[in-house]
Structures are given as structure tokens and as C-alpha cells.
Amino acid sequence: MPSPSFLGGAGGLELLTRFAGRPMTMPAHGCAVLTDAYAYGDGLAFVDDHLLLDSSVTASPIDIGAWGFFRDVGPLHDGKRRIDNWSEHPHRLGEAVLLARRSDFVYGHWLLETLPRVRLAQRLCSDQAAFIVSASIAEYQIEMLEQLGIARSRLFPLNPGIAVHCDRLIVPSLAHWSSNVVHDFACETYDALITDCIARAGHGRAHDRILVTRSSRKRDPRPLFNLADVEVVARRHGFVTVDPGAVPWWEQIAIFAQASAVVGQSGSGLHNTVYTGERGHVLVLQPNHSRNFLQTSIAAIRRHRISYLFGESFSAFDREGSECGYVIDVDLLDQTLSTII
């Protein structure tokens, strides 16, 4: 993993130790091909009522963080977990690919977990195979799949708690299965999207330096309280403010692919740096209580430089969790931008 070019702010040695001690390795990747199996609406696969547990393909419900609370997964017994209280879909599929993940409604999880599975599956499946997706799939997600060659007529939406019987079920590896790791096989998918999206967006929205915000969110669990001050400093260094949630998906890709310097609030929007190439440098702004260094793994697979600037966390209820506002030292930000950009 790359060492940060800069690591500073409100954190100190404890944060550096926490960062340095992170294991960031991935298992082998590929696809599990199952015969006479079920795809479950929460994004799991099972055979004879028993959950498939294979770290290279899917993870145990207790090992996948905030999205691991599956209502109908029973306790571990003889190395297996049962799926209980499920209903069978009336339609049976022939060949199918399991893409769906419970967390697909979150852009960052869709981008890192679900989307990269497409290329792996396409190597094995026929042109007629159905692609099982979440019933709540958004229009932009359908369009991204179409861009990768999956026609919407091949999508099979599945609700949580429902299982569909498949004659042949292909389950691709997850590119992101723990809090701080992204597998480099995901790059094939990201690269496939970049050229077409730049051509579609044109060069009118190309910016060499961008400041990534989260302003379009109705509720931000990690608000940057002095964002206005941060924007003033960033503008002084030639940065243009971009809110990924306020622009179309293809324009997001084009913007990040053409940027060489990215400063941004940690979160799904900043994960678009999967499209930022080797000449890029990404400076992550995040609360000093955060244990999430996923951007380092993104930097590793995309081969760009990475830095962190931590802000003092403020919360009356969740200082140790994921919901916590913070303040960035703008004087230190000013010095940092002068040094690393």
C-alpha cells in the first residue's frame, strides 16, 4: 500500500498508528459457479438452504460491517449458516449472474462492490444470462450497466427476503469486501467507462483541481462545519468546487478522470477517485475519529498519491461511530496545499 504523502491535522501519533496497522490484502478473485442454487434478494447465494461462505466471493454476515445485518440468516452450525423465513420467486431462471448487494442504494458501495463484478461475470456467462439486481436499483445504475454492455432487458430485480431458483448461478468476487480494501480487478471496469464518459461530457467540465463536497445530501452524517472557509482556501489555490451528487454519473466520471489534484470530504463522492489516474494526488478531509482509510486502497489500485488532513471531531452522541461533524484547520490546509499540490 502507498504511504501517505502527508498525514496531519487533529489526530497525532494515535491516528498514525491506527493507519499504519491496517491490513490491506485481498484474497484471490474469480467466480463461483453454482448448479441448482438460489440467489437471495439481499445479495447472498445459497444451496439447500445454506449460505455460501467463501471469502473470495462473499463474506459472512458478521464480517461485512454496517451492511451485515441480515434478518433471516441463522446462527453458525457445522460451518454453515441457514437462510430462514424466505419466500421463493415464482419465476425460475436458467443462467444468471448475482450482482445485487444489500448496500447498492449507497453510491460508494455500488461503485466499489457491485459494479466491478460485471467484467468478471461477462467472461463466463452467455449473452442470454440474466443479471440479478436489487429491486430498488436506480436509473443511473441501470445506465451504467448498459454502458458496460448489459441491456436492461437482461436485468432481473429481486426484493429482500425473496429467493430465485437458478439452474446455473454465477457469483463474481466482491472487489470491496472489508472496510479498507479494494481489489485491483475493479480497474478493468473503471477503465472501460472512462473514455466513453469523457467523450460524452466533452471538455467543458474538465478541471485540473477539484474540491469535492457533499452539499447535495439531505442529511450528511459527517458534516464539515467550516466548509465555507475550506472553499475559500481551496479557491485561492485554483480549485473548483464539485458536488458529485449534483451532476450526472457520466459527468462525474469525466470530471474525476481529468483531474490531477483532488481535495475532498471522505465518503461516496470522493470514491470517484477510482477514475483518477497515476498523475493524480488526492487529499482526504475527514474526522479524526474515523477508522476508514479506504481511499488508500483506491490510491493503490489507481496508482495516484494520497494524503490525509484530519479535522477535530464534534459530536454529542456518536463520537466513536460514523456520524460525527468536524472542523478542518484552514491554516494547515493552506500550508498543505502549497506543499503537496
Domain boundaries, given as residue ranges, for the chain: 7-24+185-340, 34-179
- Candidate ranges 189-198, 216-225, 288-297; pick with highest mean pLDDT: 189-198
- Measured in residues, the chain has a length of 341
- Euclidean distance between CA atoms 275 and 283, whole angstroms: 15
Q: Are 253 and 272 in contact (CB under 8 A)?
A: yes
pLDDT of residue 206: 78
Considering only residues 231 and 65, tell me which one the structure prediction assigns the higher pLDDT.
231
pTM of the predicted model, to two decimals? 0.84
Cα–Cα–Cα angle for 140, 142, 146, rounded to 5 degrees: 115
Q: Phi, psi at residue 35, to the nearest 5°? A: -105, 135
Architecture of domain 7-24+185-340: 3-Layer(aba) Sandwich (3.40)
Report the pLDDT averaged over residues 141-164. 94
- Euclidean distance between CA atoms 23 and 89, whole angstroms: 40
333: closest CA among 307, 315, 303, 300? 307
| Averaged pLDDT of the chain | 81
